[in-house]
A and B are shown apart, each in its own frame.
Chain A
């Protein structure tokens, strides 16, 4: 704890960014192979609802004054993930409807609550688009704890997560409880979204989860490769974004995403220039 207290606000932001740059692509890789990257968009938009609700509660009642909106955001993301599952069952033939429904319902509710809450616009923009300058000591602790928690979960259940991601049927016949692991996994996604939100911003969390692994998969020969490259690209995007946003005086989240896009475009260009079969004998992904 003391180490954290000694950090300046800028160092706090960078520390938070590094943690996020590490974990987001990790989750992204699992989401990618499960073909669920879009769920990160749905859940991040729902997190906004939780945050606005938290801010509103803080304002209206002294009882809730101690609430950190990050926690209500996390709760909302969890509730959202359960609702998505439920909606998938309701719309059996149009399962892809679940995410747009939750996404838009989440943003709609937040819009109303934002209008009601009498908070300045600047604070909302920090939530929407991220800002490293507003990372408080408490936020850094939250990011650190959720980060450690999610890494522990991934470490303990790596095999189960992997086997479910690649072959759900095989996983269930070999005795893995698909339901439990799936629930754990959504919990993980919700955790990562709420931890990244403060730095990258709600609307941009999905980018940090998707872009690095999308670049990684162009080269990777194995899942481990995707993880490894994804984390490198993620960290590069975060660092590049923070540094450039500091010098150009532009929103951090935006620059992180732009760096991520540049990495992706660069990766695609390198892949095109390299002779076919340079990276692997067989077509991998």
Chain B
């Protein structure tokens, strides 16, 4: 069952990329969830679609973009989108939560127009939306590997600062942590991780891989470090199960990954609900 993944190059690269994503996405997800930014991940992933569509459209006219992986344009758009969100939060001082739905829906809307203009309503679009296991080339994999290393290194370097900011923002600012630049760095990382992950998981499902494992891990973990551990384990299990199922059952990998994730979450919720009752009773 597993041998086939080592027989074919494209499957091997997808498998390796999947393993990396299974670490990266939940890792970023933990910070996203504890910083209460889980909706931001959704907004950024939707705006990544706009970037991809834009790149596809440019590819019809400019050779350079025809060969470039559209994912990079997606990442640029996601980073720009996050800046716009900050700006909108400023405009709607009294309705800050409006910023995310505005960006999210505008992202898809403009994306759809780009796709239409590029005559892009084809099978390819489906793999961008819901993931594919045939999309990874060896260069893509090298890029993913490098980016993963960079992201993990940044998390390692700034672990303390990010941890501090996530749990006690005021205290962190007082003790001299540059909140704005760290926040920006973090958003940038999120955009990159979304771009990497969407190649296998699909745009509409990237945020699932960032929030669902963390949501499950949260119920199990007794400490912040444990939360990382459980999220990554759950993330890996779901990604691998999803990729295998995608190949053998011929369904969208992103969909299977999320379904496995949802199942794990349901099991965890069922298993821990008794604990809550006990705690309430005691």
Contacts and interface: CB of A to CB of B under 8 A. Distances in A.
Interface of A: 32, 35, 37-38, 40-41, 45, 90-91, 94, 96-97, 99-101, 103-105, 107-116, 121-122, 124-125, 128-129, 201, 203-204, 206-207, 210-211, 214, 217, 249-251, 253-258, 260-261, 264, 268, 285
B33 interface: yes
B143 interface: no
Contacts of B59: none
B205 A250 contact: no
Interface in B79-117: 91-92, 94-95, 97-98, 100-102, 104-106, 108-113, 115-117
B261 interface: yes
A274 to B, nearest CB: 15
Interface of B: 33, 36, 38-39, 41-42, 46, 91-92, 94-95, 97-98, 100-102, 104-106, 108-113, 115-117, 121-123, 125-126, 129-131, 202, 204-205, 207-208, 211-212, 215, 218, 250-252, 254-259, 261-262, 265, 269, 273
26 contacts: A38-B97, A38-B101, A40-B101, A41-B105, A94-B218, A104-B258, A105-B258, A107-B205, A107-B208, A108-B208, A108-B258, A111-B129, A111-B204, A114-B255, A122-B121, A203-B108, A206-B105, A207-B106, A214-B92, A251-B113, A251-B115, A251-B116, A257-B112, A260-B106, A261-B109, A285-B95
Nearest to A110: B255
**Dominant SS among interface residues on chain B:** helix
Nearest to A90: B269
Contacts of A103: 42, 207
B126 A121 contact: yes
Given A99-B39, A107-B208, A258-B113, 15 more contacts: A41-B42, A100-B39, A100-B208, A101-B212, A103-B42, A107-B255, A108-B258, A109-B262, A111-B130, A112-B252, A114-B126, A210-B102, A211-B105, A257-B108, A257-B109
